[in-house]
Amino acid sequence: MCAADMPKNALSVLLTAVQPDNYRTVKRQKINNPPEEKQSHINEAQPQAGLSNDPSEAANLLRKQFHIRVKGRSVPSPLQEFQAVRKNGEFYERLLQNLKWSGFVAPTPVQRQVVPVLLQGREVLAVAPTGSGKTLAFLLPLVINAKRAALKGQEGLKALMISPTRELAEQTARVLLLLVRGLRLQCCLLTAAAVVAGVEFSKMDMAVTTPLRMSKAARRANLSTVRWLILDEADKLFEEGLTKQIDRVIAACTHPRLVVSLFSATMPERVEELARSMLKAPVKVTVGERNAPASSVQQRLVYVGQESGKLMALRDALQSGLRPPVLVFTNSRQRATMLHRDLALEDMCVASISAEQTPAARTKVVDQFREGRIHVLVCTDLMARGIDFPNVQTVVSYDFPHSSIDYIHRIGRTGRAGRQGDSITFFEEKDSGQLTRVANLMHQSDMEVPDWMRHMKKEKPHLKQLRHDRRKAAATQKTQQGP
Ligand SMILES: Nc1ncnc2c1ncn2[C@@H]1O[C@H](COP(=O)(O)OP(=O)(O)OP(=O)(O)O)[C@@H](O)[C@H]1O
C-alpha cells in the first residue's frame, strides 16, 4: 500500500485495519527469504508439451486438462503460466516478482481461465471449488487493469471488491497488499473506522469492503470512476438481507463501461438467473463439479443420538487423535459460546468467534488461530465463507448445517490449496429430514454413505418453510447488526 499521498488520519485507520504487524512480518519474510513454493495446487497436471498450434484446440486441451468449462463468445485461452500476463510496462516485472515472493508459482485452474478474461475487460461469472484460488483470480487482473489505468492518468477509485464479511474483506486486502508492493497503487480496506475517518476515495485506486460499509459510504463517495466491481461469494451477497445494500452500491457505480464480475464456490440456479440479469455478456467459467464439495476433503457423518450426545462425541473425537487445528461450527452465537465454555473446562486450547464480538476481538482470535496458538476454534457460519486457514486439518459441524450450500462452504475451510482435510458432521434424530441432502453430496464426492441415508423421506413442506423462515430471520438480524 503506497502511503505517501494518503491523508494522515485515514492512513492510520487503514493501516490499523489491515494489521500492519502481520503484514510487515509477511513482507520481511518474503523479501529476505522467498518462501518455499506453495504446495502445488488442485488439478496439478502441468500443461503438456507438444500442444497443437491451433489456439482453440490448444485452449480446449488445456481446459480439459484442468477441468475448466466455459460459456461465452470467443473466450481467450487459459494461461499456461503467470508470465503470460506480461506486456510492455516496467510494473509487470515487479508484479511477477510479488507473485513469486508470495508463493504463487503456477496459476490454479480458475486463475488460468479467469485472468485472461478479466484482462480483456469482460465480465466473469466464476464458479470454482472452495480453496481453489478465486481471490487471486480476480485480484491479479484487477491490479494490472488498475495500474494500466493509473499510468494513463485516470484518477479516482478504479476497482472495488465486496465480500460478505469483514474477516473475508480483511483477508482479501492482505493478498492485495502482497500483490501491490512497490507498484505505487493506493489501496484500502474500508472498515467502519475508515468510513468515520472520511476516506478520500478520490485518492484510492482499489478498495475492499463489505456490503454494509460500502452502501453507507456510497451515499457520500463518488463511485462513478469505478470500472471493476467484484462480488465475492456472490450467491451470499444476493441473499435476502444483503441485496438492498448491493443494489445501492451498484447504483452508485455509474461508469458507462462498468464491468461487474461474480465469484463463488456455489451458485444455485435461481441466484445465477438473478446475477445474469445484472450482467451484460458474462463469460461463465466453471471448474470441476458445480455446487459440489471440494474433492480434497474426506467427509464423514456421525450419529450422536440426541443433543446430549454431541459434546461426548466431540470429546471422543478430540481425544482419539482428531488433528488440530480444528474448526467447529455451531448454528448460533449462543451455542458457540456455550460449547467454548464446555471445552475450556476441559483444559483445551479453545476460543470462539461470533458476530457479537468487537471487530478487534474477532481479528485477534482469527490471528491466534492462524498462528496455531488456538487449537480448537468454535464458530458460526460467519466463518464458513471464504476464510482461508490453510492449516485447518479438520472441520466439525457440531450442529447440522442449514443447507447443502452451507455444508459445502463449511467443509471447504479444510482441504485448501491442494492439501487434504477431514470433515465430520454430527447428526441427531431431529436432523434426519435433512440428512439426505448431505448424504447425496457425499455420494457425489465418492464417499461411502449407506443407501438408506440417500433415500430417506424428504422433509415435510411445513417444516421446510419453518426452517426457511428461521434462516431469513437470522439473516435479517445479522444484516441489522452489520459485519
Ligand atoms: N497459484 C497459487 N499457487 C499456490 N497457492 C495458491 C495459488 N492461488 C491461491 N493459492 C492459495 O490457495 C488458498 C485458497 O485460495 P482462496 O482463498 O483464494 O480460495 P477460494 O477459491 O477463494 O476459496 P473459497 O471458495 O473458500 O473462498 C490460499 O491459501 C491461497 O494462498
pLDDT digits (tens, 9 = 90+) for 139-148: 999 999 999 9
Complex ipTM above 0.85?
yes
- C-alpha 426 to ligand 1 mean position (Å): 27
pLDDT at position 466 is: 65
Q: Do the Cβ atoms of 414 and 394 come closer than 8 Å?
A: yes
For residue 118, give the 3-state DSSP assignment: helix
- Residue ranges of domains in the chain, CATH in brackets: 9-26+42-287 (3.40.50.300), 297-481 (3.40.50.300)
Residues 356 and 369: their CA atoms lie apart, in Å, by 18
Q: Which of 79, 136, 172 to mutate to test the pocket of ligand 1 (most atoms within 8 A of CB)?
A: 136
pLDDT at position 56 is: 85
Residue 4 pLDDT > 80, yes or no? Answer: no
Burial class (CB in 10 A: 0-12, 13-18, 19+), 227: buried
- C-alpha 170 to ligand 1 mean position (Å): 15
Kindly report each contact of residues 338-342 with a partner whose C-beta sits within 8 Å and lies 24 or more positions away, as own/partner.
339/311, 339/314, 339/378, 339/398, 340/378, 342/311
Q: Do the Cβ atoms of 334 and 343 come closer than 8 Å?
A: no
pLDDT in tens, 69-115: 999 999 999 999 999 999 988 899 999 999 999 999 999 999 999 99
H helix runs in 120-217, sequence order: 134-151, 166-179, 192-196, 211-217
Q: If you take atom 27 of ligand 1, which residue's CA is the nearest one? A: 386
Q: Do the Cβ atoms of 104 and 82 come closer than 8 Å?
A: yes
Residue 64: all three cell numbers together: 480439459
DSSP bridge partners of 42:
none
Mean pLDDT of the chain: 84
Which residue in the block uniquely carries the three cell numbers 473446562?
Answer: 345
- C-alpha 42 to ligand 1 mean position (Å): 10
Ligand 1 atom with the smallest distance to the CA of 40 is 4
* Residue 369 phi, psi dihedral angles, 5° rounding: -65, -45
* Residue 301 phi, psi dihedral angles, 5° rounding: -105, 135
For residue 328, give the 3-state DSSP assignment: strand
Which residue in the block uniquely carries the three cell numbers 476481538?
Answer: 361
Using alpha carbons only, give the angle 193, 198, 203 rounded to the nearest 5 degrees. Answer: 115
Residue 63 pLDDT > 70, yes or no? Answer: yes
* Ligand 1 pocket residue status of 136, Cβ below 6 Å: yes
- C-alpha 237 to ligand 1 mean position (Å): 20
pLDDT at position 323 is: 78
For residue 186, give the 3-state DSSP assignment: coil
HEC string for 239-271: CCCCHHHHHHHHHHCCCCCCEEEEEECCCCHHH
